[in-house]
Amino acid sequence: MIPAQFDYQAPATLEEAVSLLASDPDGAKILAGGHSLIPAMKLRLAQPQLLIDIGRIKSLAYIREEGDQILIGATTTHYQLESSDLLKRICPLLPECAKSIGDVQVRNKGTIGGSIAHSDPAGDWPAAVLALGADLVLVGPHGERTVKAEEFFVDLLTTALEPGEILREIRIKKPSGRFGHAYQKVPHPASGFAVVGIAVHLELNDDNSCKAAAIGVTGVSVKAYRAKGVENALAGTSLDTDAIAAAEKHVCDGVDPNSDLYASSDYRCQLARVYTRRALQAAKANVQ
C-alpha cells in the first residue's frame, strides 16, 4: 500500500522534463496520470528514484485537428477523449475505446500517453492506436522522432521508447471516406483489463466492399498487435458473413496467446475470433 521513497519533480515544460529524465534515465520515471505506475509502486514492484510529473505541463493535454491529422497530447485523459465532441464526430473509435477503459475514476485521471507508454499487454489504447495507424511522437535529449504504432509495441511492457525519451503526442490521420469503427472487449471480471480487446477501423468502397480493414488486438499476446491475417483476408471482400467468418480465423496468426487463470490460450483465441467478428459487424453497421 505504501510506496518506497522517491524524489519528485513537476517540471513546467516538456524540455525541462526531458532534461530531468536525462539526468537519471534508469532511476527516473515519468508520471502522467499514474494509473499504471502508482499501483506498481504501492506494491513496491516499481521503486523509481525520481518521479517526473508531466501532469502539470498544461500544453501536453489537447485534442485538435491539424490538416488531415488529429493530434492528441500525451497527458490527455481517457475521459477527455471519451467525452470529446470533436472525436465523436471525426474519429469515434477513440471515444468508444476510452469509454471501456477501467472505470470512471481511472478515466478521469489516467492518460492516453501513460497507457501507451506503459504498454500493458491488456491495455485498451494500444489496440485502438494500432487500428488507426497512429504515429507516436517521442521526444528525447536528441530531439524528436516519430514511430509508427506498429513499431512502438515491442514486447511485454516494452516499447520503442529509448531510455530518456518521453511520448509527447499521438497523431492520427483523420479517417475519411466511408468508414466504420468498433472497439469490443471482454473485460476481466476482477481487474477490468481486456482479456481480449478488438479495435476495428474499416474503410469501405462505394460498392460496400472492403477497401481496407485495420484491426488492433489487445489482451491476447504479450503486446498489442495488428491482426494482419484478418486484414488481408478481408480486403476486397463484401464483408458478408462468410468473408468475416473466413477472416476471423486469422486473428491469432503468428502470436503465442497468453494463458492465465481466467482464460487459457485456446479460449482466448476463441474469444479473439468471436470478438473480431462482432467488432467487424458493429463497424460495418456504423459506416457513415
Partner 1 sequence: MKLDGTHQLEAARERVYQCLVDPEVLQRCIPGCERLEKTAENTFAATIRTGVGSIKGVFNGTARLEDLREPEHLRIVVDGKGTPGFLKGSGDLDLEQAENGTKITYAGDVQVGGTIASVGQRMIQGTAKMMATQFFTSLGAEAATQVGEPPPQHGFFRTALRWFSGWLKNIFRKQ
Partner 2 sequence: MKKAINLSVNGVSRTDEVEPRMLLVHYLRDVLELTGTHVGCETSLCGACTVMLDGQAVKSCTLFAVQADGSAVTTIEGLAENGKLHPVQEGFWEKHGLQCGYCTPGMIVTAAQLLERNAAPSREEICHGLDGNLCRCTGYQHIIEAVEYAAKKAGQS
Partner 3 sequence: MTNNYVGKRVKRTEDPRLIRGLAHYVDDVALPGTLHVSFVRSIYAHARITNVDTSAALAAPGVVAVYTGHDVAKIGAVPCASALPDLKVPDHRVLASDKVYFVGHPIAAVVATDRYAARDAVDLVMVDYEELPVVTDVEQAAAGGPVIHESFGDNIAYKLTTGEGDIDAAFAAADRTVKQRILHNRLAPIAMEPRGVLARYFPGEEELTMWSSTQIPHLMRTQVALMIGIPENKLRVITPEVGGGFGSKLNVYAEEALLGWISMQLGKPVKWIETRRENMLATIHGRGQVGDIEVAFKNDGTLTGLRYSVFADLGAYHQLLTPAIPTLTGLMLSGAYKIPAIQMNITGCFTNKMATDAYRGAGRPEATYVVERALDLVAAELGADPAEVRRKNFPAPSEFPFHTATGLDYDSGDYEAALNKAQEIAGYAQLREEQKQGRQEGRLMGIGVSTYVEICALGPSQAMPAGGWESATVRIEPTGKVTVLTGASPHGQGQETSFAQIAADELGVDINDITVIHGDTGVVQYGIGTFGSRATAVGGTAVFVAIQKLKEKAQKIAAHMLKADASRVSFEGGKYSLEAAAAASAATGTSEPVVPVGEAPAGALPEPQTEGKSSLTIQDIALAAHLAKELPPDTEPGLSATYFFEPKNFTFPFGTHIAVVEIDHETGDIKFLRYVAVDDCGRVINPMLVDGQVHGGIVQSIGQAMYEEVVYDEQGQLVTGTLMDYAVPRAKHIPNFELDRTETPSPVNPLGVKGVGEAGTIGATPAIVGAIVDALAPFGVRHLDMPIKPENVWRIINHG
Per CB under 8 A, 261 contacts partner 3: yes
Residue 49 engages partner 2 in binding (rule: CB under 8 A)? no
Q: Is 55 among the residues that bind partner 2 (CB under 8 A)?
A: yes
Q: How far is the CB of 102 from partner 2 (least distance, A)?
A: 7
Q: Give the count of residues interacting with partner 3 (CB under 8 A).
A: 19
Give the position of cell 469509454. Answer: 99
> Which helix (DSSP H) or strand (DSSP E) does residue 153 occupy?
strand 153-155
- Take residue 45 and report the three cell numbers written for it: 514492484
Q: Which does 157 bind (CB under 5 to 8 A by kind): partner 1, partner 3, partner 2, none?
A: partner 1
Q: Which is nearer to partner 2, 79 or 275 (by Cβ)?
A: 79
Residue 256 as a binder of partner 1 (CB under 8 A): the answer is yes
Q: How far is the CB of 95 from partner 1 (least distance, A)?
A: 27
Among 23, 191, 205, 259, binds partner 2 (CB under 8 A): 191
Contact 117, 137 (CB under 8 A): no
17, 31, 74, 213: which one binds partner 2 (CB under 8 A): 31
Residue 73 has φ and ψ, to the nearest 5°, of: -70, 150
**Which member of 99, 173, 178, 188 binds partner 3 (CB under 8 A)?**
188
Instruction: Dig out the grid coordinates for 275 from the structure.
Output: 470478438
Site membership for partner 3, residue 189 (CB under 8 A): yes
Residue 273 CB, nearest distance to partner 1 (Å)? 20
Taking CA atoms, 63 is separated from 18, 151, 179, 191, 278, in Å, by 22, 23, 21, 28, 29
β-pairing, 63-66 vs 225-226, is unpaired
Number of residues that bind partner 1 (CB under 8 A): 32
CB of 153 to partner 3, least distance (A): 22
Cα–Cα distance for residue pair 187/152, rounded to 1 Å: 24
Q: According to CB under 8 A, which residues from 2 to 21 bind partner 3?
A: 2, 4-5
- Return the one option of partner 1, partner 2, partner 3, none that residue 271 interacts with (CB less than 5 to 8 A, by type): partner 3
Backbone angles phi, psi at 17, to 5 degrees: -60, -40
Task: Enumerate residues 6+ apart whose C-beta is below 8 A from 193.
Answer: 120, 122, 123, 187, 219
262 counts as binding partner 2 under rule CB under 8 A: no
Q: Are 257 and 223 in contact (CB under 8 A)?
A: no
From residue 221, how far is each of 85, 215, 231, 241 by CA, in Å? 33, 14, 18, 26
Cβ 217 vs Cβ 251: under 8 Å: yes
Phi, psi for 240 (deg, rounded to 5): -80, 175
DSSP reduced 3-state for 186 = strand
The amino acid sitting at 226 is R
Q: Select 262 or 267, whichever has its Cβ closest to partner 2.
A: 262
Distance CA 7, CA 261 (A): 37
Of 109 and 171, nearer to partner 3 (C-beta) is 109
- Residues of this chain that bind partner 3 (CB under 8 A): 1-2, 4-5, 43-44, 186, 188-191, 261-264, 267, 270-271, 274
- Residues of this chain that bind partner 1 (CB under 8 A): 29, 36-37, 40, 43-48, 118-119, 121-122, 154-158, 162-163, 188, 191, 193, 222, 254, 256, 258-262
